[in-house]
Structure 1
Amino acid sequence: MAFMTYFLGAYAASPNVTGWDPVLETAYYQQLKQLPHLKGLEHPFVGRLHPHDDQWFLTNIDPAWDYVFTTIPGVMNALSQNPSFGLASLDEAGRQAALDFMWQANQAVATLNQHVGRAAVTAIMLHSAPARHKADGSAAALEKSLAVLLSWDWHGAQLLLEHCDALVPGQKPSKGFLSLQDELQVLAAVNSQVRPLKPLGIVINWGRSVLETRDPSGALQHIEAAKAHGVLQGIMFSGISDQATAYGAWQDSHQPIKNSETLLVGEPGSWLTEQAIQQCLQTCNGMALTVLGLKIGIRPLSATLTERMQYLQAQLALLASSNT
């Protein structure tokens, strides 16, 4: 698994994370283009190609970048308006709304590919909403939705399910979606019944799995489970912590990797360490993962562009050095 370049969830580290200044974002993208080890972007889908300005996005991207669309920002926006929204929803209107949202994503993939003149969108990450402490969801409903999605032309992109924290009794969730076991069983069922050209797979987000398990080895356990089921297709490294830092305790706020002797720029409270990354990558040794990358937020939110790029460059370099 000799990845030299990686996907970056650059939107989480943007100086525009709480607003929109196209001049500032243009400067940010110009510097992203200079980053070593950058394969392309994990790109947030909220119902349109870009959250603020589709044309700005098409003008400022690097034509050589590849993309993984993540639908979680749009899913969370929709859930704030309709708790029954989701591909796994038992409410038929909520499930149909999620399918309609995915059709919008399908069209955005086509638009981006047409602009760059190739199949630049490698994958699109789906989620097993709704939040089960607010609305009913099931594996059967998710399976039904995935069968519909696989009947569409995804313009070369692979459909992947990103596991988010499941609902755990007695524990406040961030997402509260389906359990990993349910998701793995659904993927196996759909792959065997529909037999898609590109089999459905799962992406493990390190921070979200640890948030669920409250155990720094939880992500590794999820990676091993997905691997055992033959559906592991990706890992996104994003940190989490039980400490009440600027990132919050048990918040899905994309903490950076913990600083160390080999990483001078990092988050001291983060549970995501160089050793944890190495363990996960060693478990996947020899596997051709579709998605491998990093997504970190930057605190304080007032951090300068220079400070943000220092974080991104140092943390991507650590990921690269860990993957040897």
Structure 2
Amino acid sequence: MSYFVGAYASSPTGELWNPELESEYYAKLKTLQNIKGLEHPFLGTLHPHDDAWFLNNIDPSWNFVFTCIPGTMNELGKNPDFGLASDNESGRLAALAFLEKAKQAIKQLNVHLGRQAVSAIQIHSAPNQSKANSSLSSFQESLITLLDWDWDGAKVVVEHCDTLLNSQTAAKGFLTIEDEITAIKGANRSSKLTAGMMINWGRSVIEARDVAGAIHHINQAQDNDLLYGIMFSGVSDKATEYGAWQDTHMPPTPLNPTSKGEPDSLMNAAAIHHCLEVSRAKENPEFIIGAKLGIRPSTATTEDRIAYNINALSIFDAFLSN
């Protein structure tokens, strides 16, 4: 099988754009035979720095999953009312306008590649409930609007992020998965398209403070016939360089002694394989499986960054190729 890689998170140019270094990184990604394509960040334009560079450096055979979380978090930094679930109408409409730009970027990429190369777009139920008011009804209204648009073959999927709980500081603080599911099902009943759900392993574990949180959310999405894929992004309960219970995309533990991994990560092979088993990923060739890994320290070499991704993909293969 083949998988999506959130290459932007492990990029050597995440802090300072360097097209030459990024080209070297992409060249190495293209040598990995089990990459289906990229989880690609949307911040308002097709590429955060240079659309032409991006179009010239991608593998023409790759598929793509757009993620709107980087752009959403940027907008929230400027306007806490921004978000598809916002009860502030101007904030909600601003989020829809942002998604309109994403729709145009998907079309731009598809036209360049001459096919519908974008498999899905991940959207989110912002804003942070500790800073602004949001609701199921506002989110459902936004979904109904989005599902009336032409996404040129891309599936609209809600990526669940951790919700606001009184007992802990939230990383994202968006709607509960129960409210998201209710909103999706309500919108799907009255729309020409249908939305699904993506589970982000790390964010579900951050919410639950337990690896069982990911399994619980996978089951909830699956029980409602909404599960479309899983993005594996890790977390630790220890004060490592990645922080404790922080959404910093910690890589998984090493699959074997020669693999590049993080020993303190809660995301190990057993946890990943349990999720893949519960989700019945083997039975669905269209099921989206991806790894989004942040790399520490920031001075890590390109070779190490590739090695961390190889380890994660090897963990997927160890379960799915048998």
Q: Give TM-score, length-normalised by structure 1.
A: 0.96
Structure 2 CA distance for aligned equivalents of residues 128 and 265 of structure 1: 34
Identity %: 50
After superposition, residues 190-209 of structure 1 pair within 5 angstroms as: 190-196=187-193, 199-209=194-204
C-alpha contact (below 8 Å) 1:263/1:315 kept by paired residues: no
Asked if structure 1 preserves the Cα contact closer than 8 Å seen for 2:148 and 2:191, the reply is no
Please list every run of 5 or more consecutive structure 1 residues that lacks an aligned counterpart in the other structure. Answer: none
Quote the RMSD (CA, aligned, Å).
1.2
Which of 129, 135, 147 is matched with 2:126 structurally?
129
Q: State the secondary structure of the residue aligned to 1:114.
A: helix
Matched to 1:132, the amino acid is Q
Asked if 2 retains the 8 angstrom alpha-carbon contact of 1:263 and 1:318, the reply is no
Deviation at 1:260, TM superposition (A): 4.7
One-letter identity of the residue aligned with 1:207: G
Match of 1:57 in 2: 54
For 2:311, the equivalent position in structure 1 comes to: 314
Give the C-alpha shift of residue 290 in structure 1. Answer: 3.8
Partner residue, 2:229: 234
Residues 107-118 of structure 1: matches in 2 within 5 Å? 107-118=104-115
C-alpha displacement at 1:36, in angstroms? 2.2
1:268-290, Cα deviation, whole Å (9 max, x unpaired): 11100101111111112224554
SS of aligned partner of 1:13 = coil
Q: Quick one: which amino acid aligns to residue 29 of structure 2?
A: L
Question: What SS does structure 1 have at the residue aligned with 2:120?
Answer: strand
Residue 81 of structure 1, CA deviation? 0.1
Count of paired positions: 319
Q: Is the 8 A contact 1:122 1:290 kept in 2?
A: no
Q: Distance in 1 between matches of 2:269 and 2:290?
A: 14
Alignment counterpart, residue 119 of structure 1, candidates 112, 116, 119: 116
Residue type at the aligned position of 2:91 = G
Structure 1 residues 284 and 81 mapped into 2: Cα distance closer, same or farther (>3 Å)? same
Q: Tell me which of 24, 27, 40 is aligned to 2:21.
A: 24
* 2: CA distance, partners of 1:24 / 1:171: 39
Deviation larger for 252-261 or 172-181:
252-261
The Cα offsets for residues 161-212 of structure 1, whole Å up to 9 and x where unpaired, read as 000001111210110000000001111111122252xx21000000000001
Partner Cα separation in structure 1 for residue 306 and residue 81 of structure 2: 39
Pairs within 5 Å for 1:72-221: 72-196=69-193, 199-221=194-216
Match in the other structure for 1:268: 263
In 2, the alpha carbon distance for the partners of 1:186 and 1:147 equals 9
Counterpart check, 1:225 vs 2:220: yes
For 2:264, give the aligned amino acid: G
SS at match of 2:8: helix
| 1:238-317 pair list within 5 angstroms | 238-261=233-256, 264-285=259-280, 286-287=283-284, 289-317=286-314
Give the CA deviation at 1:264. 2.8
2: CA distance between counterparts of 1:261 and 1:204?
26
SS of residue in 2 equivalent to 1:46: coil
* Corresponding letter in the other structure for 1:231: L
Q: Secondary structure at the match of 2:43?
A: coil
Q: Deviations over 1:89-141 (max 9, x none)?
A: 00000000000000000000010001011000010000000000000000100
Q: When the two structures are superposed, what TM-score results if normalisation uses the length of structure 2?
A: 0.97
Mapped partners of 2:134, 2:201: distance in 1: 23
Change (3 A) 1:53 1:282: same
For the Cα contact (< 8 Å) 2:144–2:190, is it kept in 1? no
Cα distance, 1:76 vs structure 2: 0.1
Taking the aligned partners of 2:199 and 2:286, their CA distance within structure 1 comes to: 11
Cα offset, 1:151, TM superposition = 1.2
Q: Distance in 1 between matches of 2:199 and 2:256?
A: 27
Q: Which structure 2 segments of 5+ residues have no match?
A: none
Judged with a 3 Å threshold, the aligned counterparts in structure 2 of structure 1 residues 23 and 239 are, in CA distance, closer, same or farther, namely: same
For residue 242 of structure 1, report the CA deviation from its aligned partner: 1.2
CA distance in 2, matches of 1:244, 1:301: 17
The match for 2:12 among 15, 34, 41 is 15
Distance 1:153 1:260, change over 3 A: closer
